[in-house]
Amino acid sequence: MSASAKEKDPFIASLGKIYAGYTGGFAVFVVILAILEQMGVPDRIIGYLFVFLTIGVYAYIGIISRTAVVAEYYVAGRRVPALYNGMATGSDWMSAASFIGMAGSLYALGYGGLAFILGWTGGYMLVAILLAPYLRKFGQYTVPDFLGARFGGNLARSLGVIVLLTASFVYVVAQIVGVGIITQRFLDVSFTMAVFLGLAGILVCSMLGGMRAVTWTQVAQYIILIIAYLIPAILMSVKVTGVPVPQLMYGIALERIEVFEAAFRAAGQTPPPGVTGFYTAPFVGANGQFSLSAMVNFFALVFCLMVGTAALPHILMRYFTTPSVREARQSVAWSLFFIFLLYFTAPAYAAFGKLEIYQTLIGSQIASLPDWVKNWQIVSPYGTPWINIVDVNRDGILQWGEFRIHPDVVVLATPEIAGLPYVIAGLVAAGGLAAALSTADGLLLALANALSHDVYYKMIDRNAPTARRLVISRVLLIFVAIIAAYTAGNMGADILFLVAWAFSIAAAGLFAALVMGVWYKRTTNIGACAGMAVGYIATFGYLIHTEFYGWHFIQLFGSKEAILAAARQVANLPMDAEIKAAAAAMVANAATVKDGALSFIGNIFGGLPTDTVALRGRLVARLWSINNISGGIIGVPLSFLTIWIVSMFTPAPSKAMQDFIEDIRIPKGGVRLADRAEAVD
């Protein structure tokens, strides 16, 4: 770094004061709203104030951070201190899925949901030891930049861009759905309308100031989201146990949940669909017995989420913004610390929420349920109400299996469930919004940068003046945002399911090439390109094939028993008439069904057959019983293997390239770029 960065930058020096003042201001704001609520201001107004005022603050930061300098726009001038970059990464990282979805998944899946907690934290170890310091040393603007410089130009760069676009787009759609859910509930508008309102909030943050604006907004958003997550959890802990440390006290809640579940089972009740009846038991099937398939799926998901973490471009590019390699490493540790604060609270949130529902709702009269249940009985984009009370046995009393809450609203509704004041519900909504907006900002920026910097500038017009590059970047940002919002508004999908896809795609497409590029000098251009292509095609193809063409997949890979079982499932699913007819014919002539052509692959593992499940209104196939959200488990090893084998059989990289790798590995000094014409700007 040159001398200018060494001197105390007055802005950087006063960051502590700025954000302390901001946090204090937010606290005062919450207190004022609490007082207003006591004075009888309607809930609706409180909700409006929370949503609009916080978005207003983000917009203000976005506008004052506007910039026309390329290094500021792409990497925030490389002067973000480790601690603040950690906070920014925290909110960049923690999306609607973490804030809204995760405690909900834990609520539904119990121990199985902990795969998300483990997977979304452990990946930072991989980031810190394998990638972040070396990418920072390389010192360019985007992840495809590194691939282009290390693997000989435009082919590697384009492959990187394709993986980045797919993973980030899938991810950003999930964020916009999250924004839509919150806005819909708290502003009382239609889902599509809510999506486009949220979009405006996202764009004002990122459009004018690029990475610089996004960084300082994300720090502000982290502060709000962590306060909004911790306060309700603390209040619930006090309510249930009398001690304000939810992370230590929810053991009591876990024990009581087990007692409730045992009592429900003893009374012959069953849990609602999609919810485990054995909350703390690891690796169990529906009947509470050990299930190998559940265990394999748990570890496969943990693996994909961890590796995906270390391959998502919007996260990796955050470490391009620190002043030094040393700070990049520290910054990863800070990032994980700030993420940890939320993640080790999430299981407490879920446990207290669940206990509250078991204690106060189950067994009560359906006619006299509290008001908040009615508030959440609005129809979700998935076609059913968020909270669905189905009196199966028509006795007017709510049983275990009759209270069906969508996982995505568990966090948003818990303050009301626990009878906390409405201002807490508004605070949680503001936090959820901050989480979704900050991640969407980071993702949109990664998408727009890939298109404007890597595609337009590096591949189409190398002589484009700065002003035009930045204008194009901004136009593309709006363009991508609108397409993402349109997709979100028209597609009903669970947030977590979409997000997990993004992780598998990024993991299989990018991780092997990035890691081998730094750690294995012998990696050749062709090897890396082949590895990226194989990983990406295998994983993305597998996801699409199993999710949307499950019927076809099982015909190919399934044994005759699996095909027959699938044919029986088809009868209860809204599917193509042609498939239904074929399936019905199969069930009628069960003796004539044959094994699939590739069933020898599908049945390699005895205890893990290839089968199908009815999910999301579709027939979803599972190779070796592995759910397709862990599709990366197939693509990641394939990608590593391809790179290694092809590199063995292609000429070793040039001397200049080997020097380039040497320089990336050592913090000191600049980077000798192998091909100056291609990579130096």
Partner 1 sequence: MPLVESGNEPASATEAAVDPATARAYWIKTSGLMWTVLAMWFVAGFGIHLFAVQLNPIHIFGFPLAYYFAAQGSLIIFVVGLFWFARRQNQIDEEHGVQED
* Residues from 453 through 482 that contact partner 1 (CB under 8 A): 466
Q: Return the range that interacts with partner 1 (CB under 8 A); candidates 17-25, 128-136, 408-416, 429-437.
A: 128-136
Q: Return the range that interacts with partner 1 (CB under 8 A); candidates 120-128, 163-171, 562-570, 576-584.
A: 120-128
278 contacts partner 1 (rule: CB under 8 A): no
121 contacts partner 1 (rule: CB under 8 A): yes
Output DSSP code: residue 81: -
3-state SS, residue 618: strand
126 contacts partner 1 (rule: CB under 8 A): yes
681 contacts partner 1 (rule: CB under 8 A): yes
Contact with partner 1 (CB under 8 A) among 133, 180, 232, 246: 133
CA angle 275, 277, 283 (to 5 degrees): 90
Binding letters toward partner 1, positions 70-109, x by CB under 8 A: xxx----xxx------------------------------
325 contacts partner 1 (rule: CB under 8 A): yes
The closest alpha carbon to 443, from 191, 104, 178, 258, belongs to: 178
49 contact partners, CB below 8 Å, separation of at least 6: 33, 426
- CB 663 to partner 1: min, Å: 6
- Residue whose CB is less far from partner 1, 248 or 491: 248
Residue type, 660: F
- CB 1 to partner 1: min, Å: 6
Report how many residues bind partner 1 under the rule CB under 8 A. 73
Classify strands 403-405 and 387-389 as parallel, antiparallel or unpaired: antiparallel
Spatial contact of 575 and 567, defined as CB atoms under 8 Å apart: no
Distance separating alpha carbons of residues 609 and 626, to the nearest angstrom: 9
The closest alpha carbon to 448, from 156, 203, 613, 669, belongs to: 203
Contact with partner 1 (CB under 8 A) among 84, 99, 146, 343: 343
φ, ψ of residue 2 in degrees (nearest 5): -80, 175
3-state SS, residue 389: strand
- CB 346 to partner 1: min, Å: 8
289 contacts partner 1 (rule: CB under 8 A): no
- Residue whose CB is less far from partner 1, 128 or 430: 128
Q: Return the range that interacts with partner 1 (CB under 8 A); candidates 22-30, 225-233, 428-436, 673-681.
A: 673-681
Distance separating alpha carbons of residues 566 and 553, to the nearest angstrom: 11
Q: Helices (H), strands (E): how many in the chain? A: 33, 4
658 contacts partner 1 (rule: CB under 8 A): no
239 contacts partner 1 (rule: CB under 8 A): no
- CB 113 to partner 1: min, Å: 9
Tokens 């105390």 -> residue? 8
Q: Return the range that interacts with partner 1 (CB under 8 A); candidates 48-56, 324-332, 479-487, 640-648.
A: 324-332
**CB neighbours of residue 537 within 10 Å:** 14
CA terminus-to-terminus distance, the chain? 16
11 contacts partner 1 (rule: CB under 8 A): no
359 contacts partner 1 (rule: CB under 8 A): no
CA angle 369, 108, 376 (to 5 degrees): 35
Q: Return the range that interacts with partner 1 (CB under 8 A); candidates 248-256, 369-377, 496-504, 597-605.
A: 248-256
